[in-house]
Amino acid sequence: MINVLLFIEYILKYLGIDFSVYGIYGQYVQEILVYLIASLLILLAASLTIIIVIYIFRKYMADLQQRIGPNRVGPYGLLQLIADALKIFGKEDIIPDRADPLLFRFAPYIVFTFLVLSYLVIPYGNLFGLDLTFVNVKYTLLLLIAFSAIAPIGEVIAGLSSGNKFSMLGALRAAAQDLSYEIPMVISALGVVVLLSGYGDSLNLANIAKYPWPLAILEPIGFFVFFIAMVAKMAVVPFDLPESESELVSGFNVEYSGLRFGIFYLGVFGSVFLASLFISVVYLGGGSDFIFYGSGYIWLLIKAFIFMFIFLTLWIALPRIRVDKFMNFGWKILLPLSLINLVWSVMLVGLGVF
């Protein structure tokens, strides 16, 4: 099975682009070129996926609410997103007088950059003999958690740099929400690491996804905590406290317009699909081949889209949770449950059950 990076390098050499013949420095240039192409492919795939998720969400929401949804621009409204993108590009980029101009401009790109980097470390499985793993180091689980923790910093910077009290409140809520639910999420993921400690690199997402049985069966409490924490990390209903349109008038991004607002908008839907991939890899076997060889990527997408529809249904159907109840739920319920799950994982390993 050939790795996708080796496949890109083979294509470049087939096209006559081979800097490695110029010595060690040429090899460095060739590697940089391969990783640059791989990053561009991930950026293109992530952007296309986000566009598809937005379209599905709008049509799915319309169906549940007995509306038609996008149907005017293109067949079935497929070109509506292109029209929306052109509208966003045409809008004026407004920077408030009280805002910090550098941080205000920079904040959206922090969110989107680390979102795309998160997509890089996901092991997408095997597709007809091609291993769709772009970054496969020992600690991809830690990398993914780190990237998902850094991305909300962009939201905090956006709120604090806008010079608006509603934006500042949204930023503070984003910080509190991320901290409250990051800790249970990491502890529940640590339970998976403990379970697979005897099966090679348990911090490697590709190795976690290779385990034949869904770990959600062995760790139902950890799976529940991880699932709820991922919903909170996405900051969508019922956990959309950083935005809270009815209270904070869109919260941390209320002062943003044009392209920068569009980047925040893409970041929300990108995090929805990323969370679906993350849960599928950690708890449901990821892109492991199921029926026939080379089908791993297909099965990963099926699992991810199932979770995505669950997330979107929760987004549409549930009301927003009150701030104090939301914080209590994270600290008083999810955190103890995550610790219980960790003890359960240690017991399974210590007693030799697993």
Residue 96, preceding bond cis, omega within 30 degrees?
no
- What pLDDT does residue 223 have? 92
What is the C-alpha to C-alpha distance for residues 26 and 36, in angstroms, rounded to an integer? 15
Query: What does the pLDDT look like over 137-182, one tens digit per residue?
Result: 788 888 888 888 887 788 888 888 888 888 888 888 888 888 888 8
* pLDDT tens digits along 22-49: 777 788 888 888 888 888 888 888 888 8
Q: How far apart are CA 229 and CA 231, in angstroms?
A: 5
Q: Residue 88 forms beta bridges with which residues? A: none
Distance CA(86)–CA(71), nearest Å, equals 17
At residue 224, the pLDDT reads: 92
318 in the Ramachandran plot: left (φ > 0), alpha (ψ -120 to 50) or beta?
Answer: beta
Closest CA to 42 of 270, 332, 302: 270
Which residue type is seen at 277?
L
Residue 102 CB burial class (10 angstroms; 0-12, 13-18, ≥19) = exposed
- What pLDDT score does 161 carry? 87
Q: How many CB atoms are closer than 10 A to CB 58?
A: 17
Tell me what pLDDT residue 221 has.
Answer: 93
Residue type at position 112: F
Q: What is the pLDDT of residues 125-141, one digit of tens each?
A: 888 777 788 877 788 88
The total of other beta-carbon atoms located within 10 Å of residue 289's CB is 16
Flag whether pLDDT at 350 surpasses 90: no
The model's pLDDT over 302-348, given as tens digits with 9 standing for 90+, comes to 888 899 889 888 888 888 888 888 888 888 999 999 999 999 988 88
Q: Which residue has the tokens 């996926």?
A: 49
Dihedral angle sign, alpha carbons of residues 202, 208, 213, 216 = positive
What are the pLDDT digits (tens) for 251-291? 788 888 888 888 888 888 888 889 999 999 999 887 776 66
CA 303 centroid distance within chain: 15
Both structure tokens of 104: 């205000």
Helix (H) or strand (E) holding 129: none
Residue 17: what residue type? I
Residues 5, 203, 311, 293: is their CA dihedral positive or negative?
A: positive
pLDDT given for residue 337 in this prediction: 94
